[in-house]
Structure 1
Amino acid sequence: MADREDLPADHGPAGGWGSLRGVREVFGESWPTPGVVQTLLRQNKPVGFMCASCAWPKPATYKPFEFCENGAKATIWESTTARCTPDFWTDHTVTGLRGWSDHALESTGRLTHPLRYEPETDRYVETDWDTALAAIGAGLKALPPDDVVFYSAGHAGLEASYLWALFARLYGTNNLPQSSNMCHETTSVGLKKVIGSPVGTVVWEDLDATDCYFFFGQNPGTNSPRFLHPLKEAKDRGAGIVTFNPVREQGLVSFVDPQNPRAMLTGEETVISDQYHQLKAGSDIAAILGVCKAVIEADDGARSDGRAAVIDWPFIEEHTTGFEEFVAFARGTFWHAITAECGLTEVALRDAARVYMEAERVIGVYGMGLTQQAHGAWNVGMLVNLLLLRGNIGRLGTGCCPVRGHSNVQGQRTVGVAEKAELVPLDRLRALFGFEPPHRDGTHIVDVAQGIIAGRIRATLCLGGNLLRALPETARLEETWQRQDLTVMVSTKLNRSHLFPGRQAWILPCLARSERDVQARGPQTVTVEDSFSMIHGSTGKRTPASPHLRSELAIVAGLAKAATAPNPKVTWDAWVADYRRVRDLIEATYPDDFRGFNDRMNTPGGFWRDNPASRRIWQTDSGRAEFTRPDRLNALGFEDAEGRLRLVTMRSNDQFNTTIYGYSDRFRGIEGTRDVVLMNVGDMAARGLSHGDRVALVSDAGDGVDRRLGGLEVIRFDIPEGTVGSYYPECNVLVPLSLHDRMSKTPGSKAVPVRVVRDDTVA
């Protein structure tokens, strides 16, 4: 790579032939089982199966190919013909595999049998289900409930998730952290505080009616490519799109529709963003404040001249509180302070404000660029401030649109996978199952990591995921993870978390969502919730990768039977036999959200859980939508200093979360490696670096902990001065557990204090 001296910021539009080539490469490596094409044709369609990748909604009126590049990769990746059988461990030890990459580990194929870690040989060995479940149950009974963590990764359906939460509470704990703790917990906490809803307010009808999008810290080209279709449709009808992001993400620059034959033949591109503002990492508060300040000043001028108001005053007076304090803050903040912080000009921010003011209906979209900050809740609050100024919440074509990353991460919270007792109807659980649920709050995932390092957490049970790899402070956790008494992972493939087993460790292989799930009462369907709070049925049809696999729901029930006392109202076997009974329980526990659950679960486009904020019913402390006044102009958890840079952790278009499909990040022109750091030419010059030099990123958190990621190649890139970029999850080693959102504890992975030094460990 070092010889590519003229590397551009991006390599062509999103979609198009590049997307098809990316799918083909994963197909060629995985050699999926026969029938994968038929599986893809059923993906994200009514009575089909719901993609196990992102949580982007599924439309009622669907296209012939209702999957994106990443969704196709996810399905092909899990449909591989490769098998990681017990024989694999004949030639490999756990310690020996620690030098393997994430990609290589998953490329070993689907897990086929339950496995037990054998410390004497440092290998996993085959076991049977009865032995595994009995041993895990005995291990759990020997531990205090508050020392055990029940983690869920966002993949399991609503049925298994509901039983997982019930299992934990019957066992005696609310230690139910979930992957949203690491991404959109800031939404759950911050958005709820200001509009009374922990989730977004937008549905499909709003996308069809809006005439403007404002994007903050979200990358649809890589993380939710099916979003590109409604964006293209919006552009076709003349909508405006304004983007704020440190990196120019190609999905928000231009798009070739792979489902349009003419576009594919001619290369016809749709330009997505009318304005693309590359602000410094962590400075969204300043940028949004600048837009709001311009709107307020325009309203002052309009009313002074006798023209129509710019601000929606009737809405402000009827539905909001805190407006005067926020306006005073905006008026009192000088333009030079705003522009100095975000790195954008006053002209640029006024241009963005002009688009906002000219639009009748605006949707605010955001992702982890806002949530994964030390003051991420203020980021979310500032975006809501902007929307509230012109009444852009609670009417058609408007709203707040956080884009979730995992297929059922939002739904798991809906059915009780939550560490906060106040979020769960404990009285209904008491009435349904005849036990006293624990009332004390459980453990957030950041507290889990700190507890493992300190030795307080003695067991982790993981319903899916690659938790150790996904957490901050990776190096410190790898040293301490194995000190736990018990680790249990429900998995489809081998991953790095398996390589740091506790004193007792078990891998329990489960069905993939696209695979046929047959129980005593016949084939079963599971359900998931998307980012729009729509509930969908998902029915797998493929032959399971191994006859020894069990469904997630069956595994949860088996563990619970082994670890908890018998209860005549808790009928695990009956629930495994017929998932409809579990959906009846979900409806009984959450009647407002799941009325008629079994009858409605296959509704085309899903059925909506409803959202009071979308109807301008504000379930906040004040009963109104709340303007917020941040205490500072950035969301950083540190101050700028000489030589200190703000690291943004990123994903390539060849990965999903910690799953690495390959080594092609074609949008950024990076091929064959992930060991890179993207730098502004000015920052390179200040450090005497050239394109292709080898460097290390070193933590500059000032807490005395040595954190380092070496062997990185410098890539000259279009990124703001003072900001550098590198890949997740590799960079997790640099993120301090103490760097997290002050309200939600979401790790601050989008602005990490680092220094760049020459790497003298690399020849």
Structure 2
Amino acid sequence: MTDDRKITITPYKGPAGGYGSLKSVAQVLVAEKVRPTSAAQLLRQNKPDGFICTSCAWGKPATPHPFEFCENGAKATAWDLTTERAGTEFFAAHTLTELESWSDYELEKAGRLTEPLRFNPATDRYEPVDWETAFTEIGARLKALQSDADQTVFYASGRASLEASFMYQLLARIYGTNNLPDSSNMCHESTSVALPESIGVAVGTVSLQDFEQTDLLLHFAHNPGTSTPRLLHQLQDARRRGVPLIAFNPLRERALERFTNPQSPGQMLTLDETRMSSAIHPVKNGGDIAALTGICKALIAMDDLARDAGQAGPTDREGLLDSTENDAGFSIKAAAAGKTSRNILDHDFIAEHTDGFEAFAAHCRAADWEAIEQISGLKRPALEDVAALYATSDRVMALYGMGLTQHVGGVENVQMLVNLLLLRGNIGKAGAGICAIRGHSNVQGQRTVGITEKPELAPLDMLKERYDFEPPRHQGLATVQACEKMITGEVKAFVALGGNLLRAAPDQPRVEAAWRGLDLTVSIATKLNRSHVLHGTCAYLLPCLVRSEIDAQASGPQTVTVESSLAHFHGSRGGVKPASGTLMSEPAIVAGLAQATLAANPATPWAAWTGDYRRVRAEIEAVWPATFQGLENDMLMPGGLVRPVAARERKWNTRSGKANFIKPTHLFAGDVESLDDPDILQLITLRSNDQFNTTVYGYRDRFRGVSGTRMVVFMSKADIAARGMKDGDRVDLQTASRDGIERIVRGFRIVAYDLPAGVAGAYFPEANPLVPLGHHDRKAHTPAYKAIPVKVTPAVAGADTAVGDAN
């Protein structure tokens, strides 16, 4: 049960970064008992001669800072380099039934896994097994299912290297399936579907250098202070040059307001703060399409007015910025109707490079301002102000996170942002473009080397020719579909290259029940998590090296590669002695599984590839020559090897041969049928300051002032009062779903917070059971974690909330 004396809810008044960040890093290093020699590895993190952080995928600069890591990156490394061990003695002392009651934090806090383990149903424990036996037994079970290979799923998390990921997808396809779901299915799949339709590439178009040339930054649905703190360096530099930063987010996240750079001696000594956003627009959850429609509508109206009036002369850009600072930076004045420019839109770019403009423009002209205001939660003058500033900015970048992608209309969210950029030619020129801020460190790179359930995205003919097998040509299972097939019993085996699917997945109770019914679960992992203590009939844990550890193979210490979210390839070399002498690398484990499962084939020399990763990179370049040319020579180059991205050069690999304006079907990106019910709140799932994805480093969310618990629901004062409740009340959240399945999570504590009426927030993954598997993007099937229709009711007495509270 919860001890309320350990819980404190106190508003945080400091900036992002600063001494709070340094203190947090020091605390995790001490808590994990990281040796000083290991802690020194932080100096090599994200450096050309060092290792790439396993946390976020943000770009690595050619000229790195002395400490090129952020608070969460340091926590991730400390988590990996802990001296705590979950070895033979640990598992001898704890049954899996007991471990099921442990929190996510407690399970991972047990320490690094040290040896391969096999579940023993007689003792209800994981017990040691040698590598050869483990591979042989797993291979035998996989071969028994191979006659219907789609009974097996090969899942990948976003941390595995390009080398391991390439080998893994090849293993799955030679096995006979395209069941290659990954963590991208859970986060930025909406990007991977939206951008190819709009601009012909599946990744963003900007580089770090673009931040140095931009005139305006538009930042949507992302919290850089928690999710991508190193991004704050580029944002801060731009702000110091006078570049406006306009943010759209339901919560006024601290990193969008104020930042003290821990790597700036001057700022740290003087406690100086950089005002980050010029304005923060508190858009309602699911209201981004409406807000973007309003901005586009205003731009098109300005252009129509200027064209009809025949006016010339640019708008006075400085006149759009109020010189009076407030707590969010600078506010924007509306442009006077008589000061618009004749060239509001880039008609030359639109005519030469785009398709669908007239239909899109007509859609925007017809959009109703009252509906735009109601759904976005923003007033028309505010959106017109943004349009006026955008109209006078030559080079504009739009950045966005999962707050756009994880919606029922996630694809349309992204495409509306592209539409806005296309109106003024802001794709394919320096200082401009679209930036998808991806999460896990190599989640984008895995797709580049074939981790995809979509056969049309893999070079199947090349794989067939080079590796002498017939690849499967049918559609594989994405993550949501894999969960559905587990529930129906059509999936029998699940092999996981990292990750914690059971905590990341929607509809958690149903997925967990199905997981227990699998014939085989295999997890390549570094630490214990919920997906391990729950298990199939036959279960194995295969412990692997972390990226900061020395990977010694037959040819010597190895280098692996990853791709940043800015489409640069980087090499990574570990420098720390492995946590255990029995650990294997991810490529070596994949090779061991392949050799035990697949028929011998001289075209796939798994053992030779394991002995020298240069041979794997040679295969990658041979399969994708245009993408990976020069990888071996340039992977350790400062700034990395730039991946070719056609849209950067205004080459549009779309069906129309041009960039496409695409109309949205709705102004609201969530469940439209729930929008008008006053009893329903649109719940957004959030990460805390002490968290990365499903990994919880502690129970402090410094920026939101919450300590000692994760079982909170953030609500506006208006919504609290409307329900006859008060700050601090215990409540239950129940999904307003129409499929007849009750979804309820009990024992949340109300925290009054500054966010729009009709919107609530709760932590991921604690709120995941509220998300139906069917609540996902209409095209990408990305789970819609960001606008879950819920009802709030008084808590049932005696509800157990220990899973999300400090112990």
Fold shared per TM-score above 0.5: yes
Residue matched to 2:433: 399
What is the CA-CA distance between 1:560 and the residue it aligns to?
0.4
Of 776, 781, 784, which aligns to 1:740? Answer: 776
What is the CA-CA distance between 1:638 and the residue it aligns to?
3.7
Of 357, 362, 367, which aligns to 1:328? Answer: 362
What is the CA-CA distance between 1:561 and the residue it aligns to?
0.3
Residue matched to 2:791: 755
**Aligned: 1:417 with 2:421:** no
1:612-632 CA distances to partner (integer Å, 9 max, x unpaired)? 001110111101111111121
- Per the alignment, do residues 412 and 434 of structure 1 end up closer, same or farther by CA in structure 2, a change over 3 Å counting? same
CA–CA separation in structure 2 for the residues paired with 1:33 and 1:450: 44
Residue matched to 1:362: 396
**Aligned: 1:488 with 2:522:** yes
Of 138, 163, 177, which aligns to 2:140? Answer: 138
1:676-691 superposed matches below 5 A: 676-691=712-727
Q: 1:593 is paired with a residue of what secondary structure?
A: helix
- Which letter maps to 1:61? T
Residue matched to 1:83: 85
1:551-587 CA distances to partner (integer Å, 9 max, x unpaired)? 0000000000000011111101100110000000000
**Aligned: 1:263 with 2:267:** yes
Residue matched to 2:188: 184
What is the CA-CA distance between 1:9 and the residue it aligns to?
6.2
- Which letter maps to 1:95? T
Residue matched to 1:297: 301
Q: 1:142 is paired with a residue of what secondary structure?
A: helix
636-645 or 288-297: which moved more?
A: 636-645
CA contact (8 A) 2:715 2:751 kept: yes
Residue matched to 1:653: 689
1:445-479 CA distances to partner (integer Å, 9 max, x unpaired)? 11000011111110100000111111001111111
Residue matched to 2:154: 150
CA contact (8 A) 1:55 1:407 kept: yes
CA contact (8 A) 1:638 1:753 kept: no
Q: 2:351 is paired with a residue of what secondary structure?
A: helix
| TM-score normalised to structure 1 length | 0.99
CA contact (8 A) 1:11 1:666 kept: no
Q: Percent same amino acid at aligned positions?
A: 53
Residue matched to 1:71: 73
**Aligned: 1:287 with 2:321:** no
CA–CA separation in structure 1 for the residues paired with 2:646 and 2:582: 45
- Which letter maps to 1:109? G
CA–CA separation in structure 1 for the residues paired with 2:797 and 2:155: 37
**Aligned: 1:460 with 2:494:** yes
Of 101, 107, 110, which aligns to 2:109? Answer: 107
CA–CA separation in structure 2 for the residues paired with 1:347 and 1:472: 38
Q: 1:442 is paired with a residue of what secondary structure?
A: coil
Residue matched to 1:43: 45
1:46-84 CA distances to partner (integer Å, 9 max, x unpaired)? 121000000001000111000000101100111100000
CA–CA separation in structure 1 for the residues paired with 2:497 and 2:524: 5
CA contact (8 A) 1:216 1:366 kept: yes
What is the CA-CA distance between 1:206 and the residue it aligns to?
0.9
Q: 2:527 is paired with a residue of what secondary structure?
A: coil
1:569-615 CA distances to partner (integer Å, 9 max, x unpaired)? 11011001100000000000000011122111111110111100011
Residue matched to 2:324: none
- Structure 1 unmatched runs, 5+: none
CA contact (8 A) 1:284 1:635 kept: yes
1:673-718 CA distances to partner (integer Å, 9 max, x unpaired)? 1010000111111111111100011111121111111111000000
Q: 2:536 is paired with a residue of what secondary structure?
A: coil
Residue matched to 1:337: 371
Q: 2:582 is paired with a residue of what secondary structure?
A: coil
Q: 1:365 is paired with a residue of what secondary structure?
A: strand
CA contact (8 A) 2:506 2:772 kept: yes
CA contact (8 A) 2:8 2:706 kept: no
CA–CA separation in structure 2 for the residues paired with 1:642 and 1:198: 38
- Per the alignment, do residues 40 and 695 of structure 1 end up closer, same or farther by CA in structure 2, a change over 3 Å counting? same
CA contact (8 A) 1:275 1:352 kept: no
What is the CA-CA distance between 1:8 and the residue it aligns to?
7.2
- Per the alignment, do residues 109 and 2 of structure 1 end up closer, same or farther by CA in structure 2, a change over 3 Å counting? closer
CA contact (8 A) 2:409 2:669 kept: yes
1:424-448 CA distances to partner (integer Å, 9 max, x unpaired)? 1111111211111111111111100
Superposition misfits of 4+ residues, deviation over 3 angstroms: 1-11
Of 246, 249, 265, which aligns to 1:245? Answer: 249
CA–CA separation in structure 2 for the residues paired with 1:478 and 1:114: 23
Residue matched to 1:233: 237
**Aligned: 1:15 with 2:38:** no
CA–CA separation in structure 2 for the residues paired with 1:354 and 1:2: 50
Q: 2:741 is paired with a residue of what secondary structure?
A: coil
What is the CA-CA distance between 1:6 and the residue it aligns to?
12
CA–CA separation in structure 1 for the residues paired with 2:42 and 2:753: 36
Residue matched to 1:700: 736
Of 584, 599, 604, which aligns to 2:638? Answer: 604
CA–CA separation in structure 1 for the residues paired with 2:787 and 2:436: 19
CA contact (8 A) 1:9 1:717 kept: no
Residue matched to 1:729: 765
- Which letter maps to 2:754? D
1:635-654 superposed matches below 5 A: 635-639=669-673, 640=675, 641-654=677-690
What is the CA-CA distance between 1:4 and the residue it aligns to?
13
CA contact (8 A) 1:535 1:607 kept: yes
What is the CA-CA distance between 1:7 and the residue it aligns to?
6.4
- Which letter maps to 2:151? D
| TM-score normalised to structure 2 length | 0.93
Of 361, 364, 383, which aligns to 2:417? Answer: 383
- Which letter maps to 1:491? A
Of 704, 716, 733, which aligns to 2:752? Answer: 716
- Per the alignment, do residues 4 and 550 of structure 1 end up closer, same or farther by CA in structure 2, a change over 3 Å counting? closer
Residue matched to 2:170: 166
Q: 1:465 is paired with a residue of what secondary structure?
A: coil
- Structure 2 unmatched runs, 5+: 313-341, 800-807
What is the CA-CA distance between 1:37 and the residue it aligns to?
2.9
CA–CA separation in structure 2 for the residues paired with 1:380 and 1:596: 32
- Which letter maps to 1:296? I
CA–CA separation in structure 1 for the residues paired with 2:8 and 2:365: 44
Q: 1:592 is paired with a residue of what secondary structure?
A: helix
What is the CA-CA distance between 1:301 and the residue it aligns to?
2.0
1:423-502 superposed matches below 5 A: 423-502=457-536
What is the CA-CA distance between 1:761 and the residue it aligns to?
2.8
- Which letter maps to 1:304? D
CA contact (8 A) 1:694 1:762 kept: no
Of 59, 62, 66, which aligns to 1:60? Answer: 62
1:111-133 CA distances to partner (integer Å, 9 max, x unpaired)? 00100011111110111101100
What is the CA-CA distance between 1:2 and the residue it aligns to?
8.2
1:274-297 CA distances to partner (integer Å, 9 max, x unpaired)? 110111100100000111111111
CA contact (8 A) 2:7 2:708 kept: no
CA contact (8 A) 1:157 1:412 kept: yes
1:188-226 CA distances to partner (integer Å, 9 max, x unpaired)? 001111100100000122111111111111111100000
Residue matched to 2:315: none
**Aligned: 1:348 with 2:352:** no
What is the CA-CA distance between 1:38 and the residue it aligns to?
2.2
- Alignment RMSD (CA, Å): 1.4
Of 275, 278, 285, which aligns to 2:282? Answer: 278
Residue matched to 1:667: 703
Q: 1:443 is paired with a residue of what secondary structure?
A: coil
- Which letter maps to 1:461? V
CA–CA separation in structure 1 for the residues paired with 2:705 and 2:72: 18
- Which letter maps to 1:227? L
24-33 or 78-87: which moved more?
A: 24-33
CA contact (8 A) 2:587 2:610 kept: yes
